[in-house]
Amino acid sequence: MAHAQVEIIAAAFEAATQEMAASLVRTAFSPNIKERADCSTAICDASGRALSLMTHAPAHLGSTLRLVDAILKRFPLETLGPGDAFLANDPYIVGVTHLNDCTVAMPVFHDGRVVAFAAAVAHHSDVGGRVAGSESGDNTSIYQEGIRVPPVQIYVGGVQRADVIELFLLNSRMPHYGEGDLMAQMASCVRGSARVQELFTKYGYDTMLTRIDEILDSTERRIRSRIRSELKEGTYSAVDWLDEDGVTDTKVKLAVTLTVKDGHLTVDLSESSRQLASGKNVPLTHSYATAYFCLKSIVDPFIPTNEGLYRTVSIVAPEGLVVNPVAPAAVSSRNMTSMILAEALTNALGQAAPSRAVAAGGPGQGCISVGTAPVTGRYFINYENLAGGQGARCTADGMDVVMINMTNTSNLPIEAMELEFPLRIERYELVCDSGGAGKFRGGLGVLRDMRLLADNASASLRSARQRFPAPGLAGGKPGGLGSFIRNPGAPNETRLGLTTSGTPLGNGDVLRIVTPGGGGHGDPSERDPEALKRDLVEGKVSERAVRELYGVTPT
């Protein structure tokens, strides 16, 4: 009976966070959430332990690690009441990954006492700062990135604190999006709170507390068992490189030394570069989220994401590193760095489990386009990440044009974009030969031409893999590089920088974004002839590549 209850209650928590996420996406105002689903939801117990997460973006995994502790430090448990709600976004206080990831949390009550917290994380389109969209790799401190919000109370007993919300929205260039998304987060938390209350009413307080402990212990036992069966004990090292540090051409080292022992992972990041004078630093909670994601994806993709998983990973990362910066270091463009960190971690895990090795991939390239719509005179901010190619697996090709590892959000459909913003997509296609050659080919990147039909327009760009391609594995070739080009093919064609903020664009200018491809796996000469022929017919590889990289004469 007890075992059955554990399974039923665990599944109910999973269903609750999924329902919360669906509610958030369906009621949000901004395209970044209602179309791209750049949001996540969670339920934690009264002490802050994660019970279930629905993570559209794995980067959000770290958002609950310090959240409840930070709230209770300022608002003791005995002072909370039904209908209270809190807002926070500071990565150095509550552990979210950057200021755009605003988090709403609501205590859940049963018989007059707090039994849990429901939380909804959503990437807001703008939270102020020096650059529209608030995210830029060349910021030099967090003070340039927007309003910093420690846990503040936005609802007291179900009554909105209009002054606090007004203060938050006054710092946004898109307050109509911000207000709508904030209310969607509240609705999500209300939904989660109701589901948790139903569970406590059905099973009782004491039983629920016992079952929660058992759920977390069960997850821990399962993941430790999988580590023992899937990963060979030992120490493994890997290094990958971020193209530049955001303000100079200096490359950034992401170094991992992984020790697998007795069902536990110790991830030593001590050899990584020092923290940067830019927004490409990764808060420690985000580094933990990266490790959790990589472990889960390699060892057991279907294991629940909760405190039990977290117990199996330790990170060694002294303060002052790019993977554990000290305030007031900027962090807004942290996800590009974490993408490369994830590749190094995946490489090390692949050494411990060769049958699950995956070549490095091409991370999505980021673009925030802004301006004024000529017809309405209304300012807009369009936040996007364009997908690259997945690295080849040891048994299959990498997927084409897919958001890999730490970004798992959807693309913004062209129809929705052109309806919402004064933009027009004129070209959108796979990039031939961008997937690294190999017995199994790396996934392809994409090329997209976007024409801005706006006044006072500009773009802020962030990237990786524009200088250092995704390396192949076991003899596989590297993937193709990404690029940003203004007005391609025109007399004033310009190659734009890897990290820019507020680059001016005229009404009618075209911005071309090319995303990088994934690395290949295995000797290209061993590729199945039928697969190579299919690639050639579909335009994924050129005749030149067939001859020069695969050693085959096209027929």
State the DSSP string of 361-395: --PPEEEEEEEE-TTT--EEEEEEEE-B-PPPBSS
Q: In this structure, is residue 12 part of a structural domain?
A: yes
Q: In this structure, is residue 231 part of a structural domain?
A: no
Question: Per-residue pLDDT averaged across 146-173, rounded?
Answer: 98
375 by Cβ neighbours in 10 Å (0-12 / 13-18 / 19+) ranks as exposed
Q: In this structure, is residue 295 part of a structural domain?
A: no
Please tell me the predicted confidence (pLDDT) of residue 307. Answer: 96
Q: What is the DSSP letter of 91?
A: T
Q: Is the pLDDT of residue 554 over 90?
A: no
Question: Per-residue pLDDT averaged across 273-283, rounded?
Answer: 96
Summarised one tens digit per residue, pLDDT across range 473-498 is: 999 999 999 999 999 999 999 999 99
Query: For residue 40, what are the β-bridge partners?
Result: 55, 121
Q: Is the pLDDT of residue 137 over 90?
A: no
Domain stops at, among 173, 200, 219: 219
Please tell me the predicted confidence (pLDDT) of residue 311. Answer: 97
Q: In this structure, is residue 340 part of a structural domain?
A: no
Q: What is the DSSP letter of 132?
A: T
Tally the C-alpha atoms within 13 A of residue 64's C-alpha that lie toward its C-beta.
Answer: 30
β-pair type (423-430, 365-372): unpaired
Of 412, 385, 386, 387, which Cα lies nearest the Cα of 401?
387
Question: CA–CA separation, 180 vs 178, rounded Å?
Answer: 6
Question: CA–CA separation, 399 vs 389, rounded Å?
Answer: 6
Q: In this structure, is residue 59 part of a structural domain?
A: yes
DSSP for 309-347 reads: HHTTEEEE--TTBTTB--TT---TTHHHHHHHHHHHHHH
Confidence at 383, pLDDT banded by 50, 70, 90: very high
Query: For residue 237, what are the β-bridge partners?
Result: 257
Long-range contacts of 246-251 (CB under 8 A, 24+ apart): 246/137, 246/138, 246/139, 246/276, 246/277, 246/278, 246/279, 246/280, 246/333, 246/499, 247/138, 247/140, 247/276, 247/277, 247/278, 247/499, 251/467, 251/468
The tokens of 494 are what? 């310009």
Between the alpha carbon of residue 238 and those of residues 63, 253, 267, 295, 349, the distances in Å are 26, 11, 11, 15, 9
Please tell me the predicted confidence (pLDDT) of residue 58. Answer: 79
Neighbours of 314 (CB within 10 A): 13
| Structure-token match 């580094």, residue found | 287
pTM value is: 0.96
Number of structural domains, the chain?
A: 2
Q: In this structure, is residue 54 part of a structural domain?
A: yes
Between the alpha carbon of residue 151 and those of residues 62, 192, 307, the distances in Å are 16, 20, 22
Query: For residue 460, what are the β-bridge partners?
Result: 368
β-pair type (423-430, 264-268): unpaired
Summarised one tens digit per residue, pLDDT across range 397-451 is: 999 999 988 877 888 899 999 999 999 999 999 999 999 999 999 999 999 999 9
Alpha helices for 108-204 (secondary structure H): 162-170, 175-203
Confidence at 1, pLDDT banded by 50, 70, 90: low
Query: For residue 368, what are the β-bridge partners?
Result: 383, 460
Question: Are 215 and 363 part of one and the same domain?
Answer: no
Strands of the sheet with 500-505, listed across from one edge: 379-386, 365-372, 455-462, 500-505
The tokens of 543 are what? 């005749």
The tokens of 213 are what? 């402990």
Domain stops at, among 219, 243, 271: 219
Residue type, 534: R
Enclosing domain of residue 158: 2-219
Domain stops at, among 189, 219, 249: 219
Summarised one tens digit per residue, pLDDT across range 92-134 is: 999 888 999 999 999 999 999 999 999 999 999 999 999 999 9
β-pair type (313-316, 365-372): unpaired
Question: Per-residue pLDDT averaged across 218-230, rounded?
Answer: 97
Judge contact between 398 and 359, C-beta under 8 A: yes
Confidence at 182, pLDDT banded by 50, 70, 90: very high
Question: CA–CA separation, 461 vs 463, rounded Å?
Answer: 7
Between the alpha carbon of residue 243 and those of residues 181, 186, 325, 326, 466, the distances in Å are 34, 39, 19, 22, 7
Confidence at 56, pLDDT banded by 50, 70, 90: confident
Judge contact between 44 and 94, C-beta under 8 A: no
Q: In this structure, is residue 307 part of a structural domain?
A: no
Judge contact between 331 and 142, C-beta under 8 A: yes
Of 431, 423, 480, which Cα lies nearest the Cα of 455?
423
Please tell me the predicted confidence (pLDDT) of residue 390. Answer: 97
Q: In this structure, is residue 197 part of a structural domain?
A: yes
- Given CA atoms 256, 259, 263, 265 in this order, what sign does their dihedral have? negative
**What average pLDDT does the structure give for the chain?**
95
Confidence at 63, pLDDT banded by 50, 70, 90: confident
> At 504, which helix (H) or strand (E)?
strand 500-505
Residues in the chain: 555
Question: Per-residue pLDDT averaged across 524-551, rounded?
Answer: 96
Within 8 A by CB and 6+ apart from 109, the residues are: 81, 82, 115, 197
Question: Per-residue pLDDT averaged across 183-196, rounded?
Answer: 98
Angle between helices 334-352 and 284-299 (to 10 degrees): 40
Summarised one tens digit per residue, pLDDT across range 324-345 is: 999 999 999 998 999 999 999 9
Q: Is the pLDDT of residue 32 over 70?
A: yes
Question: Per-residue pLDDT averaged across 162-186, rounded?
Answer: 97
